[in-house]
Amino acid sequence: MKTVCLDCNTVYAPDDARWARFASLGDFEVYDRTDESEIVERCAGADAVLTNKVPLSAATIAKLPGLRYIGVLATGYNIVDVKAAAAAGVAVTNIPSYSTRSVAQQVFALLLAITNRVEEYARENASGRWCRSLDFSYRLQEWHELAGKTMGIVGLGHIGAAVAAIASALGMKVAVYTSKSQAELPEEYVKMELDELFATADVVSLHCPLTDSTRNMADARRLSLMKPSAILINTARGPLVDEAALADALNEGRIFAAGLDVLCNEPPEAECPLVGARNCFITPHIAWASSEARERLFEIAFENLKAYAEGRVQNRVN
């Protein structure tokens, strides 16, 4: 079996010794990055392809008649035309639930960066501001406890549930938009419709997949429902948010802040309206990437491919 990994650098560098495990399953070629123009040439003759962000379209799959397996090195698999793959007899697998704890932690890293401004205080004090202070303490801005505030969670899958548990531990009230019934939820969680949740919550955290119905769910109309003191957190998919509408809401002070780990284009274009927007805290799609999460991803990716080589398919999405 010949396997090609198209963009290993998203997980580990190509010379990382971990990749030797894949070579134990047959011929293995690994590339740090692959341009779309290089996909067909590099995958020629491959039985299996591993990809994180390199797209495999219907047209590309049609040019790879020997391909029988695509292993997506992520939970989301929208970079693969799964219907075209199924029609061509190509199994597509993903890596479910490997980053739940990491993403949940990043939600609160973003939230606390907004509310507590630890980095700003550390930067000010490194330049001597506290040394120059006439008082024992100083404040850059007013800040508030999270206890008693409402965390609105859109989507109560593994990550949404983990975020809800942390919010509860911090003394926050939890409101959820979910397909689950109220009877299926913990007694203290309150199910709400989406507009009600945006209007009610002090913090709205997005944890739903990107579909035609969820694209731009945080649009100008829905953002207008939020409190001026509210915070929007997005660690799910960039296109869940109308970026221009969010930038306007932030710059005009109609909502307080946003914490984003994902954007519509990654890396963002220079003219992205959220880059430099008021009170917009952006991290470069790192919520999934703790050392522990990447180890889990790698292990599941290997086990997925090993299962396929043994005539079984696990974590198939098509």
pLDDT at residue 24, as a whole number: 94
- Mean pLDDT, all residues of the chain: 96
Percent of the chain with pLDDT over 70: 100
What pLDDT does 275 receive? 97
Q: Does residue 285 have an active-site annotation?
A: yes
Residues 6+ apart with CB under 8 A from 12: 18, 19, 294, 298
Taking residues 91-104, what's their average pLDDT? 97
Residues 6+ apart with CB under 8 A from 155: 177, 178, 206, 207, 208, 209, 236
Q: Compute the distance between CA of residue 102 and CA of residue 163 in angstroms, rounded to an integer.
A: 10
Please tell me the predicted confidence (pLDDT) of residue 50. Answer: 98
Q: Taking Cα atoms as reference points, which of 56, 139, 171 lies closest to residue 46?
A: 56
pLDDT computed for residue 291 by the predictor: 96
Residue whose pair of structure tokens reads 């506290």 in the numeric block: 130
237 is catalytic: yes
Rounded distance, CA 109 to CA 256, Å?
A: 17
Among the options 145, 252, 266, 292, which is catalytic? 266
Mean pLDDT of 238-261: 98
Beta carbons within 8 Å of 32's beta carbon, 6+ residues apart: 7, 8, 9, 13, 14
User: For residue 163, what pLDDT is reported?
Assistant: 98
Round to whole Å and give the CA distance between 257 and 253: 9
Q: How confident is the model at residue 280 (pLDDT cuts 50, 70, 90)?
A: very high
Please report the sign of the dihedral spanned by the C-alpha atoms of residue 37, residue 38, residue 39, residue 43. positive
Alpha carbon distances (Å) from 198 to 176, 206, 220, 221: 10, 11, 12, 10
Residue 266 annotated among the catalytic residues of the structure: yes
pLDDT at 317: 96
Spatial contact of 278 and 250, defined as CB atoms under 8 Å apart: yes
Identified catalytic residue from 207, 222, 237, 296:
237
pLDDT value for 57:
98
The residue-averaged pLDDT of 92-105 equals: 97
Active-site entry in 18, 278, 285, 316:
285
Mean pLDDT along residues 270-292: 97
Phi and psi at residue 129, in whole multiples of 5°?
A: -60, -45
**Look-up of token digits 């859109």:** 154
pLDDT per residue over 159-186, tens digit each? 999 999 999 999 999 999 999 999 999 9
**Confidence class for position 42, pLDDT limits 50, 70, 90:** very high
- Mean pLDDT over residues 17-41, rounded? 96
Q: pLDDT digit string (tens) for 50-60? A: 999 999 999 99
- The Cα–Cα gap between 75 and 52 comes to 9
Which pLDDT score is estimated for 63? Answer: 97
pLDDT tens for 125-150 read: 999 999 999 999 999 999 999 999 99
Secondary structure letter of residue 202 according to DSSP: S
Residues 6 or more apart whose Cβ sits within 8 Å of residue 39: 6, 54, 56, 60
Mean pLDDT for 62-87 is 96
